Chains A and B, each alone.
Chain A
Amino acid sequence: MSLSRCGGLISETIDLHSLASQYAHLAMVKVYDDIFAAPDIEALLADLSTAEVEAVVLAGDSQRRFQYTRKGMLLIEHLAERGINFNRIAFANLREQVALCHRGRREETTQKAKLLIDVAIAKVECSARGEVVEVAPHRSILILGSTLGGLVAAQGFLERGYHVYLVDRTDQLRTISPWEEEVQALLTAVETHPQASFLLGSTILDFSGWCGDYSVQVANEQGPQGLAVGGVVVALGGDKGWTDQLRGFLHIDVDAVGFFTVKDELTLPVQTIDEGICVIPRYEGDNALHYQLTRGDLAVLALTQVLEHPQIKHEVRISKVDPDLCGACGTCVKTCPFKASTIDALRKISVVDPRRCKGCGNCVVACPTGARDLAAFPNDYFLRAIDILGQYEPPEGIKVLLLLCEGCGYAGLDFVGMRGFTYPLGILPLGVPCGGRVDTQYLLEAYHKGFDGILICRCEDGHCRNIVGNVDLDRRANLFREVLRSRGIEPERLQIFSVAHCQSNACAQTAAQFAEKLKQVRILKK
């Protein structure tokens, strides 16, 4: 396990050395100054080679810093090179979730930090080694949207010898009037290139696959056709209608107003949560021309960097199917919005297409037999996490399980920490891949383990990256409230809320109000 002081931010509040001494039984426990600084990365990697380490828990920074920023992603790559399986790396967010939001309470925060570390350890212990699949990438690119950014990217790929399919739902190239002159040369270069195919007036019928190997069904007046491409550039400009249509196909996040967005404006300006899809975001500022040109080039750079490898590795995070439990009822088929589940009629069992599965876990929850499990977020992990967090005795008395979806909720609580807002210690965060992964069985389990209430923070309506995670969560919660009433558990003890694109204090406010409400409920009961 590695504990990071985060340059002193954490050690100010939490007693890291007393924490480290509690994990003496692990293969290795080390405290580093700042896990992202070169000397500490080198020290960590050197330490890893001295001990036999199968799994790594990084305690300190938010998991988002490892998944959504370049420096974090590089560190994870280093770990992967050392043979640490992606499924055996877990994070305990001591910075945003403990130190920054509960300043000045050394003893209590150290205790809470231990719980979060225990949960992270449970995650690596419960997760099996994840399978890695290798694919040889296609040397072809799909450009969605004939905007300036799209054309720049198209030209870049053509220059590098890729075949480019430029698809747009409009019949003509999008008029880019103010820049006509600048664009004309570019357009000619693309239009006359033998490796470029224009598919205007097209609709996307189907989209599946992963970085290096996407299959796309496109239809226009000439009829339908199938494309096989290695990467995708999404350059829709301000076309909201088309964005909405494509959301069902592309597994990428949208911003506060519903346009496709990137991982990190600063360090990953065109990259999305799908490695093979780059987005040139809508931009309406003064330097729109400049912006579109640079983003187009950046998309070419980002994608070629990946596609130039002879083989691309894919981490399989999909759900497994237990043949002893699956009775082929079809619930998973109805549930999955990505059409990843089908029933094999001969074997009478459900099968998952790894090229379509996004690992959201909605089918794992929906499966009425428990035949499915998610490789990266297994059932056993959630049960153990709830058990561990349930043992906490908060000083204020009220204990709340705060489930955070990976899309928005997790970032929402990070924002609270970064801004130094505070909330009661008894609010215990637990990350879930998506609102759709919230199993009502876990909620019952949480009440059973002594939580006073459960808060679920999910993406805003219509913003779920897994399209229906929110919807299914709400439907389940509605039915589930009946179950709560029947047990004498006030339905108000379960609250679902969303944060407006992670940039608000909503998490802290809602959590504090919720804890206050639970206190009132408790007084009324007595």
Chain B
Amino acid sequence: MERVGLATGWLQGCGGCHIALLDLHQEFIEILDWIEIRYSPLNDRKRVPEVFIGLIEGAVANRDHERFLREFRERSKILVALGTCACFGGVGGLRNLFLKEEVLKCAYVETESTVEGKIPGGEGLPELLEGVKPVHKVVEVDLSLPGCPPPPGMIKGSLWALLKGEKPQIPTRNLCEECDRERREMLIPKRDFLTDAVHSPFELLSINPHNCFLEQGVLCMGPATREGCGARCLKGNMPCRGCMGPTPGALEQGAKMINALASILPAGELMFREDVVGVGYRYSLPVSIYPHLMHEGKNG
């Protein structure tokens, strides 16, 4: 039987989504009975061949990403945005809080160095875009698989569905649905805050692994984050940081979390203790309703 062609591409990302593919272990070898990897960052091929499924990792941050992504889209029958960076811009998207010049200056000039700093540029170097963009802002995307990295099971399930010509089912509720931690105070109709103080996990001598983080005064993004990861961080006794992005019902993750927190944790404490912007938009700033600095003439 002829195997189906698959290509994987890599834009501004850490490569973790490719590792997630490998994290399928022997199951990945089973998949290889059905698909053939015709292009990937590890193949030495100059051009993307025509394939059935294209998996693209990372966000669009420079002109070369744009060019490559367009080519990749053209050659893939089904384009899958793989991982949080491709879906929402990811951590690298936090640079949208600054102007491009500020970012370059900070990275190459102002940072301590043994040599005098100079902003690189010129021929051969792709120009940095004003702002980081998710893949769907540049080309049409057929399927988005969020997660930093996307859970291997979800990748596999989606690939199988696509091979069978079905629509992959990605769960749509929030993480609390999957989380095994017990919620007690959250379910009592009482207007008092859950705790008087807000803590970072490292400040606490111990964290009860069976109880809701919010009830212990630790900011957890779970309520404003899409399920599907199996609450893996929470099982490791760390609060959710929101990498799966918002649920399909929310316009954006950060503002929704702010709305929710009003009756949950003390706002004053939160502002003092937490980086509200960093927490709410850690992974999703480029898909925020207002993703950029308010400067005239700034392109998306």
Residue from A330, A343, A370, A448 in contact with B289 in the complex, judged by beta carbons closer than 8 Å: A448
A326 contacts the other chain (CB 8 A): yes
Question: Is B294 touching A488 in the complex (CB atoms < 8 A)?
Answer: yes
A483 contacts the other chain (CB 8 A): yes
Cα distance, A268 to B69, chains bound together (Å): 66
B250 contacts the other chain (CB 8 A): yes
The minimal Cβ–Cβ distance linking A387 to chain B, given in whole angstroms, is 12
Question: Is A335 touching B262 in the complex (CB atoms < 8 A)?
Answer: yes
Known A-B contacts A333-B189, A368-B223, A478-B271; the reply to A325 vs B260 at CB < 8 A is: no
A280 contacts the other chain (CB 8 A): no
A441 contacts the other chain (CB 8 A): yes
Known A-B contacts A368-B250, A487-B293; the reply to A440 vs B271 at CB < 8 A is: no
A377 contacts the other chain (CB 8 A): no
The minimal Cβ–Cβ distance linking A461 to chain B, given in whole angstroms, is 16
Question: Is A329 touching B223 in the complex (CB atoms < 8 A)?
Answer: yes
Residue from B227, B271, B277, B280 in contact with A327 in the complex, judged by beta carbons closer than 8 Å: B227
Cα distance, A367 to B276, chains bound together (Å): 18
Residue from A326, A478, A482 in contact with B173 in the complex, judged by beta carbons closer than 8 Å: A326
Residue from B260, B261, B264 in contact with A367 in the complex, judged by beta carbons closer than 8 Å: B260
The contact string, 1 if C-beta is below 8 Å from chain B, for chain A 450-492, is 0000000000000000001001100110111011001111000
Interface size class of B (residues with CB under 8 A): 35 or more
B61 contacts the other chain (CB 8 A): no
The minimal Cβ–Cβ distance linking A304 to chain B, given in whole angstroms, is 34
Cα distance, A339 to B261, chains bound together (Å): 18
Q: Which of A300-342 contact B (CB under 8 A)?
A: 322, 324-331, 333-337, 339, 341-342
Question: Is A479 touching B261 in the complex (CB atoms < 8 A)?
Answer: yes
The minimal Cβ–Cβ distance linking A394 to chain B, given in whole angstroms, is 18
Q: Which residue of B lies closest to A371 (CB)?
A: B249
- How many chain A residues have a CB neighbour from B under 8 Å? 48
Question: Is A341 touching B189 in the complex (CB atoms < 8 A)?
Answer: yes
List chain A residues, Cβ under 8 A from B12: none
Q: Which residue of A lies closest to B184 (CB)?
A: A330
Q: Which of B243-300 contact A (CB under 8 A)?
A: 246-252, 254-264, 267-268, 270-271, 276-277, 280-281, 288-290, 292-295
Known A-B contacts A329-B222, A329-B223, A334-B264; the reply to A370 vs B290 at CB < 8 A is: no
Q: Which residue of A lies closest to B96 (CB)?
A: A487
Question: Is A483 touching B295 in the complex (CB atoms < 8 A)?
Answer: no
Cα distance, A482 to B191, chains bound together (Å): 24
The minimal Cβ–Cβ distance linking A99 to chain B, given in whole angstroms, is 34
B100 contacts the other chain (CB 8 A): no
Cα distance, A147 to B78, chains bound together (Å): 75
B172 contacts the other chain (CB 8 A): yes
Cα distance, A367 to B194, chains bound together (Å): 17
List chain A residues, Cβ under 8 A from B249: 322, 325, 369-371
A444 contacts the other chain (CB 8 A): yes
Please give me the 5 A-B residue pairs with the lowest Cβ-Cβ distance, nearest first.
A370-B249, A327-B177, A330-B186, A329-B176, A327-B174
Apart from A368-B260, A371-B173: 19 A-B pairs, beta carbons within 8 A: A325-B247, A329-B223, A331-B186, A333-B188, A334-B194, A334-B263, A342-B187, A368-B250, A368-B259, A369-B173, A369-B247, A370-B247, A444-B252, A447-B294, A448-B290, A472-B263, A479-B258, A483-B254, A487-B294
Name A residues whose Cβ lies closer than 8 Å to a Cβ of B. 322, 324-331, 333-337, 339, 341-343, 348, 365-371, 439-441, 443-445, 447-448, 468, 471-472, 475-476, 478-480, 482-483, 486-489
